């Protein structure tokens, strides 16, 4: 398995000395010039793919630190520094709400990808797939994109992946069950069907390069942690609290095996 580095620039998680500092545009860019090469060079030869910028917040007023201190071109600046540091690695932009054309960050992702592609600064686009099942319809899912929730069809998902005209990386994939009020066996069966359909769609699209399952056991998932308003009923991963494989694990395995044999 390859390691993906994530992320070199992320406005959501910054130390207090940056968040509370008074930085000029030039000083903020200097942070990029110092930090991006530092991390990329530390893992040179070990990490072949980097998420350079994660979840740019252009559409959210007063949220994105680097948008405020540098401007929207901070994404381009970060990618250029990363490309100059190591031209041989794949550079991707990652975000949520971009797995469907109705997603609240689809258009922003398209704009970023198209701009970077013209300058040959990007090699792929990352989709965060934090989703939930739709009752009685495993051909659709609910996207839990930030504070927005909307229903996406599998066909829409496939079409959206292809629309970027770049390799796609599923950077986070989990299936949240907290709102499924059914016996546990039925909940896990619904989850397994959705996981299987999502993996089938990803492979059918033919543009996906990597899939990362977001968490290695239910009780260790971010969706069950209090700091993220989690719930012990989320049960979002392929493995239970004791790290035993759930029906979803076998559903994913069977889809992968089918494609491997075809």
Band the pLDDT of 63: cuts 50, 70, 90. Answer: low
Band the pLDDT of 58: cuts 50, 70, 90. Answer: low
Both structure tokens of 240 = 């239970």
Q: Among 204, 189, 201, which residue's Cα sits nearest to residue 235?
A: 189
Whichever domain contains 247, its CATH number is 3.20.20.80
Domain co-membership, 121 together with 244: yes
Band the pLDDT of 92: cuts 50, 70, 90. Answer: very high
Side-chain-side CA neighbours of 99 within 13 Å: the count stands at 33
Q: What is the pLDDT of residue 119?
A: 96
**Whole domain around residue 70: which residue ranges?**
1-91
Return the beta strands (E) in 134-262 as ranges.
140-145, 148-153, 168-175, 208-213
Q: Above 80 in pLDDT, residue 134?
A: yes
Band the pLDDT of 191: cuts 50, 70, 90. Answer: very high
User: In the listed set 91, 125, 142, which residue is the last one of a domain according to the structure?
Assistant: 91
Domain co-membership, 17 together with 144: no
User: In the listed set 76, 91, 106, which residue is the last one of a domain according to the structure?
Assistant: 91
Domain co-membership, 177 together with 155: yes
Q: Which residues of 102-125 are buried (b: 16+ CB within 10 A; e: fewer)?
A: ebbbbebbbebbebbeeeebbbbb
Domain co-membership, 66 together with 129: no
pTM here? 0.93
Considering the chain, what is the average pLDDT of its residues?
Answer: 93
| Angle CA 210–93–169, to nearest 5 | 15
Number of domains in the chain: 2
- The alpha carbon dihedral of 233, 148, 108, 67 has a sign of negative
Q: Above 70 in pLDDT, residue 56?
A: yes
Query: pLDDT tens, 66-78?
Result: 888 898 899 999 9
Domain co-membership, 86 together with 159: no
Q: Above 70 in pLDDT, residue 204?
A: yes
Query: pLDDT tens, 243-256?
Result: 999 999 999 999 99
Domain co-membership, 87 together with 101: no
- 32's CB contacts (< 8 A; 6+ apart) are 9, 74, 77, 78, 81
Domain co-membership, 156 together with 172: yes
Domain co-membership, 136 together with 48: no
Domain co-membership, 147 together with 86: no
Q: What is the pLDDT of residue 202?
A: 97
User: In the listed set 91, 123, 147, which residue is the last one of a domain according to the structure?
Assistant: 91
The H-or-E segment that residue 7 falls in is strand 4-10
Domain co-membership, 143 together with 246: yes
Query: pLDDT tens, 206-225?
Result: 999 999 999 989 999 999 99
Q: Above 90 in pLDDT, residue 52?
A: yes
Domain co-membership, 145 together with 86: no
Domain co-membership, 86 together with 103: no
What number is the average pLDDT over the span 123-143?
95
């Amino acid at each position: 398995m390859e390691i993906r580095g994530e992320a070199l620039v992320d406005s959501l998680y910054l130390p207090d000395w940056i968040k509370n500092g008074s930085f000029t545009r030039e000083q903020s860019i200097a942070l990029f010039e110092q930090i991006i090469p530092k991390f990329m060079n530390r893992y040179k030869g070990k990490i072949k793919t980097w998420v350079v910028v994660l979840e740019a917040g252009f559409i959210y007023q007063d949220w994105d630190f680097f948008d405020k201190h540098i401007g929207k071109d901070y994404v381009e600046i970060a990618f250029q520094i990363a490309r100059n540091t190591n031209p041989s690695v794949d550079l991707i932009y990652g975000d949520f709400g971009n797995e469907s054309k109705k997603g609240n960050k689809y258009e922003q992702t398209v704009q970023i990808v198209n701009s970077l592609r013209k300058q040959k600064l990007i090699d792929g686009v990352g989709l965060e797939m934090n989703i939930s099942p739709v009752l009685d319809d495993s051909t659709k899912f609910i996207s839990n994109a930030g504070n927005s929730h909307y229903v996406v069809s599998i066909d829409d998902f496939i079409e959206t992946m292809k629309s970027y005209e770049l390799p796609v990386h599923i950077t986070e994939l989990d299936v949240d069950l907290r709102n499924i009020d059914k016996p546990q066996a039925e909940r896990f069966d619904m989850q397994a069907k959705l996981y299987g359909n999502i993996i089938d769609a990803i492979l059918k699209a033919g543009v996906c390069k990597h899939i990362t399952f977001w968490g290695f056991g239910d009780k260790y998932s971010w969706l069950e942690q209090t700091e993220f308003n989690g719930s012990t009923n989320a049960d979002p991963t392929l493995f239970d609290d004791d790290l035993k494989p759930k029906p979803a694990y076998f559903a994913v395995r069977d889809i992968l095996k089918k494609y491997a044999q075809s």
